[in-house]
Amino acid sequence: MYRKVLSYIKDNNLIKPNDKILIALSGGPDSICLLNVLFELREELNISIAAAHLNHLLRGEDAFEDERYVINTCNDMGIKCFVKRVDINAYSKESKLSSEMAGRNARYDFFDEILEKEGFNKIATAHNANDQAETVLFRLMRGTGLEGLGGIRASRDDKIIRPILCLSREEVENYVKLKNLNPRIDKTNFEKIYNRNKIRLDILPYMKENFNEDIVQTLNRMSTLLQKDNEFLEKLSAGLYNKYCMECNDYFIIKKEIFKEEESLVNRVLRHALTRYSKSNYDFEVKHIYEISCLAQKYSGKLVHLPNGVCAENVYGDIYIKTKTKKSDINSKKEEIILGKDNIYINTVEFHKYVIQFSIINGYNENSINLKQGDFVKYFDFDKINNNISIRNRKNGDKIIPLGMSGSKKLKDIFIDMKIPKNERECIPILCFDERIAWVIGIRISEEYKLTSKSTNILKVVVQRKEY
Amino acid sequence: MYRKVLSYIKDNNLIKPNDKILIALSGGPDSICLLNVLFELREELNISIAAAHLNHLLRGEDAFEDERYVINTCNDMGIKCFVKRVDINAYSKESKLSSEMAGRNARYDFFDEILEKEGFNKIATAHNANDQAETVLFRLMRGTGLEGLGGIRASRDDKIIRPILCLSREEVENYVKLKNLNPRIDKTNFEKIYNRNKIRLDILPYMKENFNEDIVQTLNRMSTLLQKDNEFLEKLSAGLYNKYCMECNDYFIIKKEIFKEEESLVNRVLRHALTRYSKSNYDFEVKHIYEISCLAQKYSGKLVHLPNGVCAENVYGDIYIKTKTKKSDINSKKEEIILGKDNIYINTVEFHKYVIQFSIINGYNENSINLKQGDFVKYFDFDKINNNISIRNRKNGDKIIPLGMSGSKKLKDIFIDMKIPKNERECIPILCFDERIAWVIGIRISEEYKLTSKSTNILKVVVQRKEY
């Protein structure tokens, strides 16, 4: 069994040498199994481990017995054990969360605290293959897509890892029996009032008896396959998102060209835009995605109302995702970043969707400077700047002396000439030196700060859109 | 309800004006509903309809009552009804198929016969949304991937259509009750000995009561989404299949470069290659696909045995899919296509994986002939051919006078110079004129048949690989 877990760890790249792993230890069979397996493998994997137990104060004396059991077990093994007590009932009422969610939040807050204070880099949780099968069935019944059917991931963000996700509950139970570990049993696991337990105690056994003896592994194999499909589709959609979605302050724009792409990807991009715009975990339904797709075929000005205070509008074929009540008057909410000239030496600034990077180059020579690097890499004469550098959105009355011209031109006229829609103009960042416009980013630079053969200190500015 | 079916038909592009649609009519509620709905919509859709009923002679007198009911119903509506009787019990024993499969085969044979004889172009079947939900759950329990979870398609090959797949069983039953249609009831639908009925009578009701009132529609929505994901991934894999797989007579080659592509797609390509090579519907499992992926990392010569008489071998990193018993001595089984010179005027020939197209051009001028069209478009002096043109695989001792050279060279040496692996050589088609090699297709043409400024009749040969 150690071999099985070891190859699962390797196949999924869960653990690296010198990892400091904190084991989430409830005291039940799964976490006790996980503790012992990682303990046995700690030298082979070259890791250090510790455990953390949160007493939820939920099941009276039982909870304290769990706590004592966990502490004693760790002591016997010579493993450090962090323990904390939180009144989940009180926290749940206070935060208006279900006691399950409240417990989860409290646990992860506790784990994160230890990671930070004690220098651990990973949290190991004890989900097993049966948990996986139950999760998949639960999501299937509640309604899901490819992502949900992928179930629990072997790891998340290279921080939370699930090394025994490959073991069935039976394997876990046999292991703890064989090693006389006497884990604690949570009696509520046998009460069918919880949905999870209905799947565990009714649905899976029925399927096993009538359809497939190997149902748990079958569902696990399916999830693994679907995770791969989903990861690939997500990667492709991330590319489309960056290509077709503009995130402005108060609204997002989804360019009409996206609707020529694969429906499967477009749906993902629309869902991502909605979730990201509404800054919540609200799960937009298939029908909402479908409504937006239909909206793109409708006339300009047509609006659909979506849940969670969001609506979508057709603007000449593009889709604007915005807030229901708010009018799209962007000028009311402006941001500006101002940097002193002295603070500019190798510096990175984030402005909305953009990452702007400054660096200084000494002297103009062809090896270090390539003026043809596209619309998002530009060079300026640093010595022409007096005091400060700022990044802001456009303002009424903005003017620039475009490169190669002698007189100034209104920004508005440049935008009109280039046929940039009104609302998009609000999203374009503008780089100013001493309050004068040096670069309408991606659009035009100013004559005033251009390089000459005499330039000695050169400011290089690289602008990138933030990734997905 | 007519509106619902009509928009489902339109959204899925199931029916075109002037379609002649044959309705598969068992006499049960679903098919009676389908018959009536298409009857009501026939003018709006501008289609003609008829029905077909196969009496399986399985349920004694009940089967004859079904037959009479179907005939009377169609007569009352003025719809033509084709009826046939087949002893499915006998056919099932004879063909060693389950009676379900035997019945299915007999029905589709009957429908195809009518399509051909009577000029119908589509078959409509009466699957409903509950059938869809049951199919998805059934596949899920038996083990499946993305394709299986997509469930029943709204249409297949633009020939079989399922116009009421959007209706729940409840909607169907309400409809037939409301219209006093008194369909026939198959009593075996209530016997739980059939797996399907266990899903219908146990699993779905349990899920509905405990998890999701709307479970049937939820599973249908999921399938629709997953179908789109799957179609897109299938399209991408088809591209990879054509790029990396060579289908030879006795074996397939999967080039090693494929393993740099997305795992999700590679798995699909491997599965497709296995299924196509074994020319059966045998469902290779995930673990077999995984074995081949692992094989690619192993040493050359390493072999894995797969089910259905197939094995895979690592040949310098490439994967060869072949038959277990047979040695890869391709020379024993050669094919040759021979065409008389007179039969060549605009002619297309298929040779294994290739489509070879001949045409004659009169006179050599730059407008009609572009000599730089790549390795698969070549021109020859037609008048230098005496009797026949043939396409074959290589033989021992093959020689060619390569273009630009005066002496002949062994094909074997050319292959060695070009580092073409031994087994691949067997797959390369060779074009001969009067038994002399004119073109090792994709590799080299002969000096003997090259165009000159004096050529009057020119043979153009275009070679394409057959698609997926």
- At the second CATH level, the architecture of B333-465 is 3-Layer(bba) Sandwich (3.50)
Q: Closest residue of B to A263, CA-based?
A: B228
pLDDT category of residue B331 using cuts at 50, 70 and 90: very low
Least CB–CB distance from B221: residue in A224, A232, A286: A286
Pick the range with the lowest mean pLDDT from A57-61, A64-68, A159-163, A323-327: A323-327
Contact residues on chain A for B228, CB-CB shorter than 8 A:
263-264, 267
Q: What is the pLDDT of residue B332?
A: 39
Question: Under CATH, which number does the domain B248-323 receive?
Answer: 3.30.465.60
> How far apart are the C-alpha atoms of B180 and B195, rounded to whole Å?
31
Flag if B202 and A198 touch (Cβ within 8 Å). no
CB contact (8 A) between residue B233 and residue A233: yes
Q: Do domains A2-212 and A248-323 have the same CATH topology?
A: no
Question: Hey, of B225, B261, B266, which one would you mutate to test binding to chain A, going by the most A CBs within 10 A of its CB?
Answer: B225
* Residues of chain A contacting residue B265, judged by C-beta atoms under 8 Å apart: 232
Phi-psi sector, A249: left (phi>0), alpha (psi -120 to 50), beta: alpha
Scanning every residue of chain B, which has its alpha carbon at the shortest distance from the alpha carbon of A215?
B141
Contacts of B57 by beta carbon, 8 Å cutoff, 6+ apart: B63, B85, B86, B87, B88, B89
The residue of chain B nearest to residue A231, with distances taken between CA atoms, is B264
Using CB atoms, pick whichever of B215, B219, B264 lies closest to residue A228.
B264
pLDDT at B424 over 50: yes
Cross-chain residue pair A221–B263, CB shorter than 8 Å: no
- Binding annotation of B for ATP: 26-31
Q: Which of B219, B221, B232 sits opposite A262 (nearest CB)?
A: B232
> Does A92 carry a binding-site annotation?
no
What does B353-380 look like in DSSP terms, one character per residue? TEEEEEEEEES--TTT--S-S-TTEEEE
Minimum distance, in Å, between the CA of residue A170 and any CA atom of chain B? 19
Among A240-254, A341-355, B44-58, B123-137, whose mean pLDDT is lowest? A341-355
Q: B interface toward A at CB cutoff 8 Å?
A: 138, 140-146, 149, 195, 198, 202-203, 206-207, 210-212, 215, 218-219, 221-222, 224-226, 228-229, 231-233, 262-265, 267, 286
Global ipTM: 0.70
The tens digit of pLDDT for each residue in A286-316 reads 778 888 888 888 777 788 888 888 889 888 8
Q: Is A29 annotated as a binding residue?
A: yes
Closest residue in B to A136 (Cα) is: B140
Report yes or no: A106 and A91 within 8 Å, Cβ to Cβ. Answer: yes
Two structure tokens written together for B35:
């018959």
Residue A15's alpha-carbon distances to A47, B198, B242, B428, in angstroms, are 8, 44, 38, 48
Give every CB contact of residue A346 below 8 A, 6+ residues apart in sequence.
A358, A359, A360
Measured between CB atoms, which of A141, A142, A207 is closest to B141? A207
* Mutant choice from A141, A149, A268, A297 vs B, greatest count of B C-beta within 10 A: A141
Instruction: Give the confidence band of A8 by pLDDT, cuts at 50, 70, 90.
Output: very high
Answer whether B267 sits within 8 Å of A228, measured CB to CB. yes
DSSP B202: I
A26 assigned ligand-binding residue: yes
Considering only residues B28 and A281, tell me which one the structure prediction assigns the higher pLDDT: B28
Of the candidate CATH numbers 3.40.50.20, 3.50.40.10, 3.30.870.10, 3.10.300.10, the domain formed by A331-465 belongs to 3.50.40.10
- Six-digit token pair at B236? 């991408």
Provide the mean pLDDT of chain A. 88
- Answer whether residue B126 shows pLDDT above 90: yes
CA-to-CA separations, B232 to A285, B47, B69, B152, in angstroms, rounded: 21, 31, 44, 17
Binding-site residues of B, in ranges, read 26-31
| C-beta separation of A376 from A464 below 8 A | yes
Residue to substitute from B7, B140, B209, B213, interface A, most A β-carbons within 10 A: B140
Confidence of residue B193 (pLDDT cuts 50, 70, 90): low
Q: What is the mean pLDDT of chain B?
A: 88
Among partner residues A143, A146, A211, which is closest to B229 by beta-carbon distance?
A146
In which band, very low, low, confident or very high, does the pLDDT at B290 lie, cut at 50, 70 and 90? Answer: confident
The reported pLDDT for the residue numbered B279 is: 79
Residue B329: is its pLDDT beyond 70?
A: no
Helix axes B29-45, B169-178, angle to 10 degrees: 80
- Mean pLDDT is highest, among A265-274, B307-316, B341-350, for A265-274
The DSSP bridge partners found for residue A434 are: none
Q: Which CATH architecture has domain A2-212?
A: 3-Layer(aba) Sandwich (3.40)
Task: Report the pLDDT value the prediction gives residue A329, as an integer from 0 to 100.
Answer: 43
Contact B229 A229 (CB under 8 A): yes
At A327 the pLDDT is 44
Residue with tokens 């019944």: A141
pLDDT at B468 (0 to 100): 56
Q: Test A233 with B232 for CB contact under 8 angstroms.
A: yes
What average pLDDT does this structure show over A326-350?
A: 65
Q: How sure is the predictor about A328, in pLDDT bands with cuts at 50, 70 and 90?
A: very low
CB pairs under 8 A between A and B: 97
Q: What is the pLDDT of residue A282?
A: 67
A286 vs B contacts (CB less than 8 Å): 221, 224-225
Give pLDDT, residue B308: 81
Look at residue B282 in the predicted model and tell me its pLDDT. 67
Condensed to tens digits (0 to 9), the pLDDT of residues A186-230 reads 776 666 666 788 999 999 999 999 999 999 999 999 999 999 999
Q: Cβ–Cβ of A218/B142 closer than 8 Å?
A: yes
- In chain A, domain spans: 2-212, 248-323, 331-465
Within 10 A of A398 (CB to CB), how many other CB atoms are there? Answer: 18
- Report, as an integer, the average pLDDT of B202-229: 93
Indicate if the pLDDT at residue B212 is higher than 60. yes
Side chain identity, residue B405: M
Instruction: Determine contact, residues A81/A74, Cβ cutoff 8 Å.
Output: yes
Please indicate whether residue A326 or residue B402 has the higher confidence score (pLDDT). B402
- Relative to beta strand A20-24, strand A48-55 is parallel
What one-character DSSP code corresponds to residue B468? -
Q: CA B445 from chain center: how many Å?
A: 35
Across the interface, whether the CB atoms of A267 and B228 are under 8 A apart is answered: yes
Q: How far apart are CA B175 and CA B127, in angstroms?
A: 15
Which pLDDT belongs to residue B325? 60
pLDDT at B327 (0 to 100): 44
If residue B440 lies in a helix (H) or strand (E), which one and from where to where?
A: strand B436-440
**A81-115 pLDDT, tens digit each:** 999 999 988 988 888 888 888 888 999 999 999 99
Task: Compare all CA atoms of chain A with the CA of B207 and give the residue at the minimum distance.
Answer: A141
Choose the CATH number for B2-225 among 1.10.10.10, 3.40.50.620, 3.40.190.10, 1.10.8.60.
3.40.50.620
Q: What is the pLDDT of residue A468?
A: 56
Q: What's the average model confidence in pLDDT over B161-184?
A: 94
Task: Find chain A residues with C-beta within 8 A of B290's C-beta.
Answer: none
- Residue A330, pLDDT above cutoff 50: no
Does A28 count as an annotated binding residue?
Answer: yes
Q: Tell me if A223 is assigned to a ligand binding site.
A: no
Q: Is A283 annotated as a binding residue?
A: no
